[in-house]
Amino acid sequence: MKYALGLEKDQELYYGNQYDTFEKAREAGTKQVKEFNKGEKDYAGVFGNPMFRSSDFPITKFYVVEAITPDIDSRTIAEDLTAGLSDDMYGNYGEVAEEYLMDMTDEETKSLGDTIYQWFKDHKRLPDFWVAGKQVEIDLATGKETPVL
């Protein structure tokens, strides 16, 4: 599990780094916000978000969120691929192709799925995005951690 930082509850886009632990994310977030709030320099962005500037306002809270990277369900992809190919053959060639690929074993489907997954990995096509999971609000004044429901 990785963690990221945000400035708003349920924000749609997150910028900046990901952290290996909640504690590292919280520590980095606290440090960045305190530096940001000093206002000594007008650097663009906190947590890499270009929408916020240190001259705009002090930040009083931030969010640590679980960064969940989607996984490719290669078995389902393999099943959909063979079903689509079977349907295509039936559509093009009629009843003579009706049983094509209908006798695929679980082992064959798993093997095809593994091959597809490996192709995505080899060609660097695995998801490079993530979605936010559980969120915890960090209040800078009190240090209180409040789970967001």
Question: Residue 129, Cβ neighbours under 10 Å: how many?
Answer: 7
Instruction: Provide the residue-wise pLDDT of the chain in tens; the chain has 149 residues.
Output: 899 988 877 777 676 788 999 999 999 989 888 877 877 655 555 666 655 555 556 888 999 999 998 888 999 999 999 999 999 999 999 999 999 999 999 999 999 999 999 999 999 999 888 888 999 999 999 999 999 97
The pLDDT score that the predictor gives to residue 23 is 97
Rounded distance, CA 149 to CA 142, Å? 20
Q: Tell me the C-alpha to C-alpha distance, in Å, between residue 86 and each of 83, 114, 138.
A: 5, 20, 53
Q: Which two tokens stand for residue 35?
A: 């530096």
